[in-house]
């Protein structure tokens, strides 16, 4: 399946095929303004033939489904645990039937917020697209959250209705919000999504359609370093990102390819890619309810998975797993890493172990609707294992020096600021946080320390708030974590700051050892110190059974910092 519009060479090398840039600078940098522009600008033909600005999210996604003749046989979704399959024709009917039930039977209207609390399931994309089809607002949440956290999110979003998995309903009882089940249960007082789909004939969508700047979803930021906030994503945001993902998928895969989804669809990564985006390219997705390594390996073998959009802990798991388990992974062609930084060491180890698989990184935030940078060409990804790629078409960036407030040229570090079609509208009901994050002229302050190289490739160093201040030097936890993970007896690791009277802060490492490992604190400290400058070395090690991570794979450093908040017994 070819993408619309012709891909041509940038002239950098014979392997580089990108969309024709609208300027001559190969790195996209304008020294007069300090702005980095995408080197992958869409040409005029693509802009003219793909103008979907008048479509809302659901109407756009449904318009991209395969033709009626193809849709009857083309599989959209497969449940990895039950092998249940849904064609694009069945998916389309389910979406419209559920939308009809929500609109006519339950009285859901444009602008109403529907709170969704469920793990991944084969019905999840239907729920999302049905909600968006009637102009209601989708607000998905992490089912691992506590009853108290769920209550706060329901109140924050001002939800009118909730849709929940049967095992999660108890967390919503005290909110008083009417609740619909994802599947049938023994509770006769609650109806399910399945019942609405079966009992409602699909009708035309409401004539009153959402406008591009209307709110489509309220997503929750990960809150890894602070309180979670409601991120307002508009229909214009979603449509723009769906269009970009469509170009990316069709430039790097074919309609016969099979994708594996274990990234949670309540997270922007899973929602944008699997809940919405892949349907625009007519491919097949195999769904896992939740991730486990053995289940993933079995799914790859059984369903001949070719593509896995993943997160760094999953890639690390593949690197560490025993190849003697004899799973056939030969169908796998591509693994994309996102949601958190992937170290060069882990990337190199993956490529050595799976040389036939293309591993590429991308970068995005909840606040950018999940996308900002990517790689098309694998040779360039392999040549720059620490990079997250180049800016998507339509995106631009600045690298701001914190001390001077000025924009930085290539190879100079600073905070990444972004502008583009995926930038959120606001933090819901939080003007103070919005104004602190989005400048008056529309730049999103990401909070990530970064730099661009001389070809326009972006490198993320670490979160600025997570940098450790040691004797006036800045130490990036991600750099130390990458070194720790290169040790064959370390399964996982995280580095956090520990307060110190003399140095201000010292690097403290939390380490998960292999079962048979007898590694000591001194051995680990020596292993790291032999590879870094003296001020960067780990000063203390705590052993732990598991590193706490968000559903998207980000280290929950605030939990580790709380654990480490104790007097230091000795100075190292």
Span 32-49, pLDDT tens digits: 889 999 887 654 434 434
Strands (E), 349-443: 358-361, 373-374, 390-391, 396-400, 414-419, 426-427
Q: Is the pLDDT of residue 182 over 70?
A: yes
Full strand arrangement of the beta sheet holding 161-164: 179-181, 161-164, 113-117, 137-141, 215-220, 230-234, 426-427
Q: 514-543, pLDDT tens digit by residue?
A: 888 888 988 999 898 888 878 788 888 989
Q: 220-266, pLDDT tens digit by residue?
A: 875 444 456 889 999 999 999 988 888 778 777 776 789 999 988 99
Which pLDDT belongs to residue 129?
95
- The residue among 367, 520, 392 whose CA lies nearest residue 456 is 392
Q: How far apart are CA 84 and CA 122, in angstroms?
A: 8
The model's confidence at residue 463, banded by pLDDT at 50, 70 and 90, is confident
Q: Is beta strand 161-164 parallel, antiparallel or unpaired with respect to 179-181?
A: parallel
Which pLDDT belongs to residue 111?
93
**β-bridge mates for residue 373, sequence order:** 363, 391
| pLDDT, average across residues 393-399 | 92
Element (H, E) at 511: strand 504-513
Q: What is the percent of the chain with per-residue pLDDT over 70, rounded to a whole number? A: 87
CA 238 to chain centre: 14
| Number of residues assigned to the chain | 572
Q: Where are the domains of the chain?
A: 7-51+365-466, 61-74+88-233, 467-563
Assessment of whether the complete model's pTM goes beyond 0.85: no
Which pLDDT belongs to residue 178?
93
Q: Does domain 7-51+365-466 have CATH number 3.40.50.300?
A: no
Q: Is the pLDDT of residue 19 over 60?
A: no
Q: Is 348 strand, coil or helix?
A: helix
Which pLDDT belongs to residue 565?
62
As a CATH number, domain 61-74+88-233 is 3.40.50.980
Structure-block tokens of residue 270: 């899973």
Strands (E), 173-241: 179-181, 215-220, 230-234
Full strand arrangement of the beta sheet holding 29-30: 29-30, 35-37, 396-400, 414-419, 444-452, 458-463
**Residue holding tokens 């009277």?**
501
DSSP 110: T
Quickly count helices (H) and strands (E) in the chain: 17, 29
In this structure, how many other beta carbons lie within 10 angstroms of the beta carbon of residue 32?
6
- Mean pLDDT score of the chain, rounded to an integer? 83
Kindly provide the b/e burial profile for residues 96-112, where b requires at least 16 CB atoms within 10 angstroms of the residue's own CB: bbbbbbbbeebebeeeb
**Residue holding tokens 């750099």?**
479
Structure-block tokens of residue 111: 């602008």
The answer to whether residues 484 and 509 touch, using CB atoms and an 8 Å cutoff, is yes
Tell me which of 303-317, 460-474, 525-539 is least confident: 460-474
**Residue holding tokens 């600021």?**
417
DSSP 555: B
Selected residue with higher pLDDT from 62 and 488: 62
DSSP labels for 284-336?
EEEE-SS--HHHHHHHHHHHT--EEEE-HHHHHHHHHS-GGG----TT--EEE
Q: How far apart are CA 285 and CA 271, in angstroms?
A: 13
- The residue among 436, 446, 461 whose CA lies nearest residue 365 is 446
Selected residue with higher pLDDT from 345 and 458: 458
Burial bucket for residue 283 (CB in 10 Å: 0-12, 13-18, 19+) = buried
Alpha helices in 342-393 (DSSP H): 344-353, 378-383
Tell me which of 5-19, 92-106, 272-286, 439-453 is least confident: 5-19
Q: Is the pLDDT of residue 571 over 60?
A: no
503 phi/psi in degrees, rounded to 5: -95, -10
Selected residue with higher pLDDT from 565 and 89: 89
The answer to whether residues 331 and 305 touch, using CB atoms and an 8 Å cutoff, is yes
Q: What separation in angstroms does the CA of 214 have from each of 103, 110, 135, 218?
A: 18, 10, 9, 11
Which pLDDT belongs to residue 258?
92
Which option is the CATH number for 467-563: 3.30.300.30, 3.40.50.800, 3.40.50.1100, 3.40.50.970? 3.30.300.30
* Residues 6 or more apart in contact with residue 278 via CB below 8 angstroms: 245, 249, 259, 285
Q: How far apart are CA 101 and CA 105, in angstroms?
A: 5
Q: How far apart are CA 399 and CA 413, in angstroms?
A: 7
Structure-block tokens of residue 450: 């970064």
Q: 352-363, pLDDT tens digit by residue?
A: 889 999 999 889
The model's confidence at residue 548, banded by pLDDT at 50, 70 and 90, is confident
* Residues 6 or more apart in contact with residue 270 via CB below 8 angstroms: 120, 261, 263, 264
Tell me which of 118-122, 341-345, 511-515 is least confident: 341-345
Structure-block tokens of residue 507: 């690097």
Q: How far apart are CA 563 and CA 558, in angstroms?
A: 9
Selected residue with higher pLDDT from 146 and 222: 146
- The residue among 93, 495, 571, 488 whose CA lies nearest residue 321 is 488
The answer to whether residues 537 and 507 touch, using CB atoms and an 8 Å cutoff, is yes
Element (H, E) at 3: none
Q: What separation in angstroms does the CA of 472 have from each of 132, 503, 571?
A: 50, 8, 18
Which pLDDT belongs to residue 273?
86
Q: How far apart are CA 236 and CA 256, in angstroms?
A: 29
Q: How far apart are CA 248 and CA 241, in angstroms?
A: 10
Q: 419-445, pLDDT tens digit by residue?
A: 999 999 999 988 988 998 999 999 999
Q: How far apart are CA 264 and CA 247, in angstroms?
A: 23
Q: What separation in angstroms does the CA of 96 have from each of 128, 131, 178?
A: 11, 10, 22
């Amino acid at each position: 399946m070819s993408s619309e519009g012709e891909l041509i060479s940038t002239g950098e090398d014979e392997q580089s095929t990108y969309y024709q840039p609208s300027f001559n600078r190969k790195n996209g940098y304008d020294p007069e303004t300090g702005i980095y522009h995408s080197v992958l600008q869409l040409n005029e033909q693509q802009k003219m033939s793909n103008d979907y600005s008048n479509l809302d999210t659901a109407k756009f996604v449904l318009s991209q489904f395969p033709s009626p003749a193809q849709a009857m046989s083309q599989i959209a979704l497969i449940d990895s645990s039950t092998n249940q399959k849904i064609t694009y024709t069945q998916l389309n009917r389910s979406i419209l039937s559920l939308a009809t039930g929500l609109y006519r039977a339950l009285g859901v209207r444009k602008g109403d917020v529907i709170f969704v609390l469920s793990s991944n399931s084969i019905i999840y994309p239907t729920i999302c697209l049905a909600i968006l089809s009637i102009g209601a607002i989708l607000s998905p949440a992490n089912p691992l959250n506590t009853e108290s956290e769920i209550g706060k999110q329901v109140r924050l979003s001002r939800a009118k209705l909730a849709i929940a998995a049967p095992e999660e309903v108890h967390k919503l009882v005290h909110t008083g919000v009417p609740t619909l089940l994802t599947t049938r249960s023994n509770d006769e007082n609650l109806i399910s999504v399945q019942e609405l789909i079966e009992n409602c004939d699909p009708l035309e969508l409401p004539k009153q359609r959402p406008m591009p700047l209307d709110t489509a979803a309220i997503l929750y930021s990960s809150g890894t370093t602070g309180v979670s906030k409601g991120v307002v994503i508009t229909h214009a945001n979603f449509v723009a990102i769906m269009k970009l993902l469509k170009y990316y998928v069709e430039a790097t895969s074919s309609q016969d390819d099979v994708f594996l989804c274990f990234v949670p669809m309540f997270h922007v990564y899973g929602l944008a890619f699997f809940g919405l985006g892949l349907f625009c390219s007519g491919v097949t997705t195999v769904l896992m309810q939740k991730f486990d390594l053995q289940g993933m390996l079995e799914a790859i073998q059984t369903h001949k998975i070719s593509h896995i959009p993943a997160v760094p802990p999953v890639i690390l798991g593949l690197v560490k797993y025993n190849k003697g388990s004899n799973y056939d992974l030969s169908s796998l062609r591509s693994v994309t890493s996102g949601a958190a930084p992937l170290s060069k060491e882990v990337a190199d180890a993956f490529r050595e172990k799976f040389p036939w698989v293309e591993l590429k990184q991308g970068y995005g935030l909840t606040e950018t609707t999940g996308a900002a940078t990517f790689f098309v060409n694998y040779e360039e990804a392999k040549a720059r294992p620490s990079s997250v790629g180049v800016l998507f078409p339509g995106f631009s960036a600045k690298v701001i020096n914190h001390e001077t407030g000025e924009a930085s040229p290539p190879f100079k570090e600073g905070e990444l600021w972004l502008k583009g079609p995926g930038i959120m509208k606001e933090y819901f009901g939080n003007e103070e946080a919005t104004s602190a994050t989005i400048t008056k002229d529309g730049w999103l302050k990401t909070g990530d320390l970064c730099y661009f190289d001389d070809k326009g490739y972006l490198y993320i160093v670490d979160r600025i708030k997570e940098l450790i201040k040691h004797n006036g030097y800045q130490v990036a936890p991600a750099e130390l974590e990458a070194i720790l993970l290169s040790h064959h007896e370390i399964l996982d690791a995280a580095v956090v700051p520990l307060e110190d009277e003399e140095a201000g802060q010292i690097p403290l490492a939390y380490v998960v050892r292999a079962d048979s490992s007898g590694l000591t604190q001194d051995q680990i400290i020596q292993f790291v110190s032999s590879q870094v400058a003296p001020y960067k070395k780990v000063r203390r090690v705590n052993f732990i059974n598991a590193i706490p991570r968000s559903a998207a794979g980000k280290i929950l450093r605030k939990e580790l910092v709380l654990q480490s908040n104790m007097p230091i017994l000795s100075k190292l």
